[in-house]
Structure 1
Amino acid sequence: MRSRLIVVLVALAVAIVALYGLPRAYFLTDLIHDAEAQETRHVADIAAIAIAERGRGADDVTPDFLESFLQTQESLTFVAADGSRVRVGFPAEADSAEDIVATRPLPDGGEITLRRSADLIDQRVEDALMPLFLVGLALVILAPLLMWGLAERLSRPFRELAGVAERIGQGHFDEPIRHHRVAEAEAIAEALRRASARWAELMRRERDIAANASHELRTPISALRVEIEDLASWPQTPPDVAAELHSYLPQLDRLNAAVRTYLDAAQAQRLTDVDTVDLVPVVRAAMQRWEAPAEGARSAVASVLVEEPEGPMPVRASQATVGQILDLLFRDAVDRGATLVRVQLGCTDAFGRVRLSLEGETSPTGDKARAAASQTALEVDGRVSIVDGHSTLLLPRAPGGTASRVS
């Protein structure tokens, strides 16, 4: 979008310069030619009057006298009544058909011819057109820079919204969407806000259904199977009825297997839909946030990474979700009065692991933050476990990575 805007705006600027500059250049050229022709005629009139007055006084018309009427690149030819000729200025060999020529008759039968060189006219036209050309050239050179800035400003809201839409598509439904002054951009932003809110609600309901489906579906099926087996084994049950009841059990097993297949497929789909993020930089970022929090934002707690990971540790979760879980666990460490948090990273075949060992714990204030972290981890098929008062976050591993494995 930005490149197309730049091309369109630069082409528009060049067209404006051309549409203004070309007619202006022709107008100036004609104006200078007319002014030079008028000035030539005016000088010829003055010279004719002066020469006529000099003739009445019986004074000779000398070359020095004639040169007093000339400027650079002009010539003046005096033809006396007796046919004698005097020429001053540039030589006759330099005459051109494009010169401006003014001829005036004299009272005694002679005449004068004033000629202004075409080279002089061209030079004055060039001098007049040069500022116009330089201004046009400057506009053409500056236009891409100015238009780039304008296109950058016009396209920035839409590029930001494109990035927001990309992150929402990756599952970051809590992505902040700022307001824009451009009406079209604000309309798109508002549509994205509504869409992200609806998608977040749909995903929450889907996770709730997936989390409760095992209990709500498989438990009654298993209970029904047990009841049928008990009923079939009662002494009061006739043999033919017991045989009929036993024939129902394979159908219940098929139903149970179908439910289990559906739940496994739903879980695999959820794992495919979420992002893949490297756990190592996310953990480092969380440690830095809690070691040097913003002023007035939260209490700080020192942390240290026990062992440097050997490589990346990709897990199936969004960066925002992992950061939120870690923030809750660090919040829990602060609430418990810990003075140091030892962070250990590792992985198994199925999970990436982050273990937070607290030192200096003095005043436990409840498990609210831990419970919130555990609930958030369940949304990405992870879990938070507490062993000896220390927190361990387990997240499903993604393919790849060379980080150290732990048992």
Structure 2
Amino acid sequence: MQEQSDLEREALNAALVVDPAFSGRDMPEIPSAAPETELGLYNTAGQLVAGAGPARADAATAPALGLPAGHDSQEWLVAVVPVAAGEKTTGALRAASPAARVWQRVGIGWAALLAAGLLAVAVAWLLARKLARQISRPMEQLAEASVRLGHGEFDLQLPHTGVLEVDRAGSALNAAAASLGELVTREQRLAANVSHQLRTPLTGLRATLEHALSDPTADLRAAARQAIGSADKLESTIADVMTLTRGPVPASPEVDLAALVDGIASLWHGPLAARARPLRVSLAEDVAPLAVAPRAVEQILDVLLDNALQHGSGTVRLEVRALERAVAIDVADSGGNAPDEDIFLRGTSGDGGTGVGLALARQMAEDLGGRLLLSRRSPETQFTLLLPRQKAPDAP
């Protein structure tokens, strides 16, 4: 052990200083011993002649002098180095320190090692806990966000955590939530659009059937044919609204707006007449055919005429005008006093309506490359659909 090596080194250093031919009658000089260490010089008779130590050579020192070993004491740690002149041993140097001091140093060493080990374990535990929190908290946030997403909350914005894998998963979840939110919103809007556009045709179909049932003299075959026509119109409306809500559709070349408007007007004469409200149609002669999507124009005019039926009063006027760079289609009635708020915003209605129709009509007009305006508020309410004369952007 280290203590034994230190004692041997100290005895050897002293042996280099002591004259091997020292006389028992002379007091030889030996180096000073280290603190708490005995350093003594013994002659061949086993007597202490210089330094500190037991008066007679102990069990560790006697063999180096050729003397029989006595009782060995466990209280001291001893290192002995012979002093020789030639081949003759003239004495021995004994270096010793208390065994209790050795064990004390060993205990201090082990205590230091234990403290260092405990400190290392504590630091490792703290670092592991911090790292675990850095990973577990973002994972908990991912789990919470997944639950919220499952409950229909699509406005997720998971924060940056600094953990590459977790951040990638969070970004993917954010993107998925945004896509799902957009999809759900689009489908909800589609359902609202279809519901709004089917309201008037369904009312007409119901009125036809109720009239046929309540009038004993009614022609049931004619009523059935009319109902089938209304059902076909419903089916066509559903297909048109689904197609138009999901994005722009290709334009048809050379659409005859006069014929298209006449067809729309023929469908609305009856519902308006049932409320004692005439429909006046005016078609300019200089309106050239346009490249537009006719189904979209039909749906826009259906919305405007239904709006006039539900919220307006008096005569309804449908007019087609030729402008320099566009064709204008006006739908006006004597209702007047349109609300001040933007009635084209979805959900906005000044008279208890659904707030869907005008928003849908404006979106379809923009998809056509045109515009839908509230061109007059008073004394009559007038909406104007502007269709550009040039070929629509989405035309093939």
What is the TM-score of this pair, normalised by structure 2?
Answer: 0.41
| Higher share of residues assigned helix | 1
What is the TM-score of this pair, normalised by structure 1?
Answer: 0.40
- Determine which structure has more spread, i.e. the larger CA radius of gyration: 2
